[in-house]
Chains A and B, each alone.
Chain A
Amino acid sequence: MADESKPFFPVEKAHHVKPPPPRRPRLNTQESRFWRCFRHSELASGLILPVTALEFSPVAPFHLAAACSAAVHLYDGGSSPSLAPLPHSPLSGFSDVAYSPSFRCDGSLLAAGGESGLVQVFRLDKAGPPLRRLSAHARPVRFVRYPRLEDKLHVFSGGDDALLVYWDVPSETQLITFPGAHRDYIRAGSPSPTSPEVMATGSYDHSIKIWDVRVPSSSNAILSFSHGDPVESVLFLPSGGLLATAGGNVVKIWDVIGGGRLIHTMEGHNKTVSALSLGRVGNASTALGGGEPRLLSVSIDGYMKSFDFATFKITHSMRYPAQLLSIGFSPSGNSRVVGTSNGVIYMGMKKKLLQEENGTGSASVFDGYAPEPKKQVLKPTNYRYFHRGQTEKPRETDYPIKRAPKVKLAEHDKLLKKFRHREALVSVLSKKDPTSTVAVMEELVIRKKLLKCVANLDVDELGLLLRFLHKYATMPRYARFLMNLANKVIEMRPEDIQSNKHLSKHVGSLRRRVAEEIMIQRSLQEIQGMISPFLIIAGR
């Protein structure tokens, strides 16, 4: 039986009415709890240029490669609590901007493209010049990928010259070339997780093509379909049968086996989706392959979204303060990195590292003997003795009586409730929040007490009021009310203002503000005068 008497309305609500905002359900799902258990930090790198790609090594300890300006930065995935740069990082054998680092399946080599059109292969265990330099492209190479399965010899590359090349790395020879594979820049691609010979590429000509190097007839893709927007990122989902493509502000999921059928379109982003990655969600033995898979997408609107492609639902979204260009999710499930256009890499590190959990968990299982925790009898010497029973949960048979929720009131609301008007005005003036200050003033007008309050302010409080007035009197939102009030205040308290140096200083600056405002108004009127004839003519 609810009390039907009216609630207490805080003063701001009364005087600044806004239609209620569309309500968003408070997310407290398992998913959001999972994403919350990451500790966030910036991966200190001092980079300025955009981080165009982030790639985790497929083998433990899951090193991270980040392409930024003319270098590929390497971070140790095994270090904790934060990813630390490897000793030989960065790899700087690039004459121009580096793009698209890709680890070999055993994690010992890394291939990367570049603005110069050269594809280079580096070793990761120690510093040194590139092992192989593959040159075929005439334009920047934005897409270099090792096949995902056990194939250590070949690499795919695609460039802005619309050329797709299948390399034999040891001999630096082009096994297959697809000249004019697309009609525009090739910017994205993904090797199939099920076959080392199959590769999907996406291009700015809106099309996605699937290539198979076993098919002898060159220059014809085995499958081609159109995304509808320039394709920024392509990713095979783990089954190999589904393909996710990002372009424009949508992510589309395609059925590759079914002949390139569109299955779902995810429209969660407001701006261009720049990168896709696979992630795993869930705490239970996430170590490798556990947990539910998620498709992570980042966009230059600053949002990272987690998409469950089993149910086709966006399960989580996270906002970052910059345009996002790249994303990586460690296969260990411990870290998540997001690269931005201003060179910052945001990192989320799991608060409890997963492998440690596993270690302790298994130990107790194998012991076979788990001692029962001894229940200590609380004694009055114990501090907790005096708090016993306070956290007790009600039993099923208990009849809980809820205490009425306490209403939190602002200081000025409390004072207004007690009709202590001057104190309320002073307290809200010292808060320096113009919205609530004006609301309190309007409330005082309704109570016919504002002028009395002004008359009763002492010199310091009058100083507060004048400072507020000179700061906000010309603000268009409050000007009509505050200008009148300023007039009244100066009319009412001339002696105080003249006798006190501080107050007259405030009034002086208020006058300057008003003079400025008059100038602005005048120039606006001039502009209006100039424009209005045009408008009238246009109206005819």
Chain B
Amino acid sequence: MITGGQRFVASPPAFSQDGKKLLVCTGCTVSIFSVSTGMQITELEGGHTDRVTSVVVVPVGAPSSKFMSYCWTSSLDGTICYWDFASAELIKKVKIQFPVHSMVIPSLSTIGSTEEGSNLYAFLSVEDINKPASEKKALHGQVRIYDLKNQKPVGGLLTETRNPEILYASKNGEFLGISNKRKLHIWRIPANNFRFDEIKKIKLHHTKKLTCLAFHSTLRMVAGGDDTGRILIWYNFGREKFAQNLQNLKGTKNPSDEVKPGVRNNDDVDSCTTWHWHPSEVKFLHFSSDGAYLYSGGNEGVIVVWQIDTGKKKFKPRLGSPLLYFTESPDPSLSCVSCSDNHIHLLKMPTMDISKSISGIKPPFSFPLKHEGSCTQVAFEQTTGLVAVSTEDYCVQFYSLFDNHEVSEVQVCKRNFQPADDVMLYVALVAISLDGSLMATIDVTIPEEKLGGLVCLKYWTRGSLVAEYLLSTVIYEPHSDAQVSSLAFRPGHNMAVTSSYGGDFKVWVHGSHASRNNESMQRTGWRCQSVGSYKGKPLTAAVFSADGSVLAIAAETMITLWDPDSNILVAMIGDTLSPITKLSFVGNSEYLVSYTHSLKPQLSVWSTSNLALYWSHGIVTEAVSCSHDESQFAVLALLSSPGDADAKGNGVIFFFHVEDPVPVATWTVTKAKGGSLAFLPANPSLHESSATNGVNQLLLIFMNGEHEYTIFNPHKEEDIISKNSRKSQAAQDEAERLGYTSIYGDLSNTNAKHNHFQEVPFAPSERPWETIFSGSSHVLPPLTKLCTSFFESLLEKRLENSNEMIIDADL
């Protein structure tokens, strides 16, 4: 069994201490990625049973411990684990009893405080599970302190909030804060070996709901972002309350009528300024390590860099989706930003260029309600084990299922994506031909008050790279203004079909209408070969049979069979109770399977030889997938009826043999709503195990509503598909380029040139002493020069002689 498609951005990631690895919470494991390649190195698994919520890397103290790599992780299952992440080993596990939503260990922030003897206090934001969830007003969130060394809680609650909040700690570990509705709570934590009652707290007030905060690295400055996009910066907070001793405080007590610009409720700060650029909620705030800049980001996908002294802004736009977290690495030239489209971009710091992206499968997005029926977000490419996912930013993402990483992304609509409340343009349908050489997409623009709606069919051909597709044909409004209900390729032919709710279907062929005279007309493209309709009924589904000889089209409750080449209606098959949502041929057999989605859900199997219903079930079907050569198919069914408002989304996968209405096997799954199923051939190049078996086994893939997927073998009870033996994709440790070289590159060796001077071979004439002194005396150089060369020539000679003598001796 292979799982994949986890969310990388559920919680903030953390850099390792050398800045070469990134620890990312992926479900109940922690994945470690290499910063230089963006590939996964290892995974910390086996410690947690629920979602990991935070990772805290233990900083390196002494240089001797440079190769130590330890981290603490907290999880919703109420445990905190201590790992050695270099070797991916679990060292210690601490039980908390409460689901931990956020954890900070402030004393770890100061390097050198990790020596033995000092206590390790973790501050936890936990959920109080004793209070019933039905009490909406109850205070479910608590902030607790836990002594990780002695494994016992310390003191009482710091505070209680409505929901568990995320904890923020300042860089030197002195302050700790949370945002609670319209207030910031800030605690000052004394240095080592503190007592619980030494912790002091102040509150900072605002008039809007605060969403995030950040502490300045050196100054007493805190920034808070609210849900209207404002950023508030409080200077010099807690001057009175956090003063070192009380006597001092009394002596310097300020009069209460002191002017504090911008401060509300007489908070304990000197002043407060407000910046406003973000149009909606601020998702993160982060002070740069030198304290000169503040990074902020939010829904609009732009990192704003504020110069703190002046309030001037710089932007990093077009990151493609709402931003969630910003993490800085120990290396000042590297940081990363997590986007809600399941991507973590590694940024080269001063310029903020994206150097690498850790890209997970993009999450599903919500279609506008009216059009939901006619959308498939997921298409599987059988040959290479890729899944094509249509994304919110008008792309189709190709994701390798077996390798669990992104392969490529095809921009379907070349439009700048702006995260907005309502989707007006989306990629509705994606279809890929069986061999993967062709792709077709349909993108829909929703009209603004019946103005400007557009349906656009695009055909793509595969380029030279894997999953690289090039646009070949654009067809505007393939069915005038009717919505396209389905799109399918004919196996083995360059032919596709689209059916529309407007009551007609079109068969498209790829042809080159080359005419000899005109060169510009020699471009190939897709054109409509034939148009058909059945009694003017809306056509809800279309599919080709596995060998491509029959085209089945559902005209609401009827199934019509067509000859795709001559466009002749061959047969009709009888009636369902409500309009058919999807059709599929079962392998090479003569059976068709269909399901309906409305109030009377039905899963039906039809026989094309008898033109009659074979068997049917009244189950709510979400997806059907048929294997290509065997007469088996899998059905994903929901356990709740579609009318149910609070459907949990639990479902069942049934594995049917077409002859038998009793399922061969069943599996229960969660989050089945919006899920999909597909059969994939086990790729021998990826799976040594199946290659050794010699049997080309068929694997079933289930992708749930959040695009997490599982691949398993439906034929075996205990499926033991070896976990994809992932080659360690760590980069070779290349010499770290820091400081000067990271900016200007290596200095080229300027001395190199001097060495290249040709060494003139010193070739003394046979007997220099004979000629060196000859000539008239006024032409001769001074005697001192002549003598040295004379002696040198003698020395040379002597050396040669000595060499010869040695050789003679050897002989």
Residues in chain A within 8 A of chain B (CB atoms): 1-9, 13-15, 17-20, 270, 397, 399, 441-443, 445-448, 450-451, 480-481, 484-485, 488
**Which one of B88-96, B127-135, B410-418, B611-619 is at the interface?**
B410-418
Number of A-B residue pairs, CB cutoff 8 Å, is 95
Q: Is the CB of A6 within 8 A of B320?
A: yes
Sample of 17 further A-B pairs with CB below 8 A, known A5-B320, A270-B517:
A4-B345, A5-B345, A5-B353, A6-B393, A8-B318, A9-B416, A15-B415, A17-B413, A17-B474, A19-B470, A445-B451, A446-B424, A450-B448, A484-B450, A485-B451, A488-B449, A488-B451
| A442-B452 in contact given A17-B471, A17-B474 (Cβ < 8 Å) | yes
Q: Which chain A residue shows the least CB distance to B412? A: A17
Q: Which chain A residue shows the least CB distance to B346? A: A4
In the assembled complex, how far is the CB of residue B446 from the closest CB belonging to chain A, in whole angstroms? 8
Cα A480 to Cα B452 in complex, Å, equals: 8
Cα A7 to Cα B317 in complex, Å, equals: 10
Counting chain A CB atoms within 10 Å of each CB, which of B416, B452, B744, B748 scores highest? B452
Cα A5 to Cα B474 in complex, Å, equals: 26
In the assembled complex, how far is the CB of residue B35 from the closest CB belonging to chain A, in whole angstroms? 13
Q: Is the CB of B448 within 8 A of A451?
A: yes
Q: Of residues 724 to 779 in B, which have CB atoms within 8 Å of A's CB atoms?
A: 744-745, 748, 750
Inside 8 A of A13's CB, which chain B residues have their CB? 414
Q: Is the CB of B449 within 8 A of A3?
A: no
Inside 8 A of B200's CB, which chain A residues have their CB? none
The 3 closest A-B pairs by CB, nearest first: A445-B452, A14-B415, A3-B353
Q: Is the CB of A441 within 8 A of B452?
A: yes
15 contacts between A and B (CB under 8 A): A4-B345, A5-B319, A6-B393, A6-B416, A7-B318, A19-B523, A399-B745, A442-B445, A442-B452, A445-B451, A446-B415, A446-B424, A451-B448, A481-B452, A488-B451
Inside 8 A of B355's CB, which chain A residues have their CB? 1, 4
Q: Is the CB of A442 within 8 A of B320?
A: no
Inside 8 A of A481's CB, which chain B residues have their CB? 451-452
Q: Of residues 402 to 425 in B, which have CB atoms within 8 Å of A's CB atoms?
A: 411, 413-418, 420, 422, 424-425
Our pick among A19, A447, A450, A488 for the contact of B474 (Cβ within 8 Å) is A19
Q: Which chain A residue shows the least CB distance to B320? A: A6
Asked whether B68 is an interface residue with its Cβ less than 8 Å from the other chain, the reply is no
In the assembled complex, how far is the CB of residue B491 from the closest CB belonging to chain A, in whole angstroms? 25
Q: Is the CB of B318 within 8 A of A6?
A: yes
Q: Is the CB of B745 within 8 A of A448?
A: no
Asked whether B472 is an interface residue with its Cβ less than 8 Å from the other chain, the reply is yes
Cα A15 to Cα B474 in complex, Å, equals: 11
Q: Is the CB of A19 within 8 A of B354?
A: no
Our pick among B318, B414, B517 for the contact of A5 (Cβ within 8 Å) is B318
Inside 8 A of B354's CB, which chain A residues have their CB? 3-5
Counting chain A CB atoms within 10 Å of each CB, which of B320, B448, B449, B744 scores highest? B448
Q: Is the CB of B452 within 8 A of A450?
A: yes
Q: Is the CB of B414 within 8 A of A17?
A: yes
Asked whether B348 is an interface residue with its Cβ less than 8 Å from the other chain, the reply is yes
Asked whether B458 is an interface residue with its Cβ less than 8 Å from the other chain, the reply is yes
Inside 8 A of B744's CB, which chain A residues have their CB? 399
Asked whether B519 is an interface residue with its Cβ less than 8 Å from the other chain, the reply is yes
Inside 8 A of B517's CB, which chain A residues have their CB? 270
Cα A448 to Cα B451 in complex, Å, equals: 10
Q: Of residues 441 to 481 in B, which have CB atoms within 8 Å of A's CB atoms?
A: 445, 447-452, 454, 456, 458, 470-474, 481
Asked whether B357 is an interface residue with its Cβ less than 8 Å from the other chain, the reply is yes
Interface residues on B, range: 35 or more
Q: Which chain A residue shows the least CB distance to B413? A: A14
Q: Is the CB of A14 within 8 A of B414?
A: yes
Q: Which chain A residue shows the least CB distance to B525? A: A19
Inside 8 A of A15's CB, which chain B residues have their CB? 415
Inside 8 A of B447's CB, which chain A residues have their CB? 445
| A446-B319 in contact given A1-B348, A1-B353 (Cβ < 8 Å) | no
| A9-B445 in contact given A3-B353, A17-B474, A450-B452 (Cβ < 8 Å) | no
Cα A357 to Cα B354 in complex, Å, equals: 54
| A19-B353 in contact given A6-B318, A481-B451 (Cβ < 8 Å) | no
Q: Of residues 382 to 440 in B, which have CB atoms within 8 Å of A's CB atoms?
A: 393, 411, 413-418, 420, 422, 424-425
| A448-B422 in contact given A5-B354, A399-B745 (Cβ < 8 Å) | yes
Inside 8 A of A447's CB, which chain B residues have their CB? 418, 420, 424
Inside 8 A of A397's CB, which chain B residues have their CB? 748, 750
Our pick among A4, A8, A445 for the contact of B424 (Cβ within 8 Å) is A445
In the assembled complex, how far is the CB of residue B682 from the closest CB belonging to chain A, in whole angstroms? 32
Inside 8 A of B319's CB, which chain A residues have their CB? 5
In the assembled complex, how far is the CB of residue A140 from the closest CB belonging to chain B, in whole angstroms? 30
Cα A491 to Cα B514 in complex, Å, equals: 48
Cα A451 to Cα B448 in complex, Å, equals: 8
Cα A7 to Cα B416 in complex, Å, equals: 8
Cα A32 to Cα B448 in complex, Å, equals: 52
Q: Is the CB of B471 within 8 A of A443?
A: no
Q: Of residues 697 to 744 in B, which have CB atoms within 8 Å of A's CB atoms?
A: 744
Q: Which chain B residue shows the least CB distance to A15? A: B415
Cα A407 to Cα B451 in complex, Å, equals: 32
Inside 8 A of A480's CB, which chain B residues have their CB? 481
| A19-B448 in contact given A5-B345, A13-B414, A446-B425 (Cβ < 8 Å) | no
Cα A468 to Cα B348 in complex, Å, equals: 47
Cα A3 to Cα B351 in complex, Å, equals: 10
Our pick among B451, B748, B750 for the contact of A450 (Cβ within 8 Å) is B451
Cα A445 to Cα B448 in complex, Å, equals: 6
Cα A17 to Cα B476 in complex, Å, equals: 10
In the assembled complex, how far is the CB of residue B389 from the closest CB belonging to chain A, in whole angstroms? 17
| B468-498 Cβ-contact flags toward A at 8 Å (1 or 0) | 0011111000000100000000000000000
Our pick among A1, A3, A9, A445 for the contact of B414 (Cβ within 8 Å) is A9
Q: Which chain A residue shows the least CB distance to B748? A: A397
Counting chain B CB atoms within 10 Å of each CB, which of A445, A447, A451, A480 scores highest? A445
Inside 8 A of B417's CB, which chain A residues have their CB? 6
Cα A494 to Cα B748 in complex, Å, equals: 73
Inside 8 A of B418's CB, which chain A residues have their CB? 447
| B310-329 Cβ-contact flags toward A at 8 Å (1 or 0) | 00000010111000000000
Our pick among B320, B416, B420, B448 for the contact of A8 (Cβ within 8 Å) is B416
Our pick among B452, B474, B523, B750 for the contact of A484 (Cβ within 8 Å) is B452
Q: Is the CB of A19 within 8 A of B357?
A: no
Inside 8 A of B472's CB, which chain A residues have their CB? 19
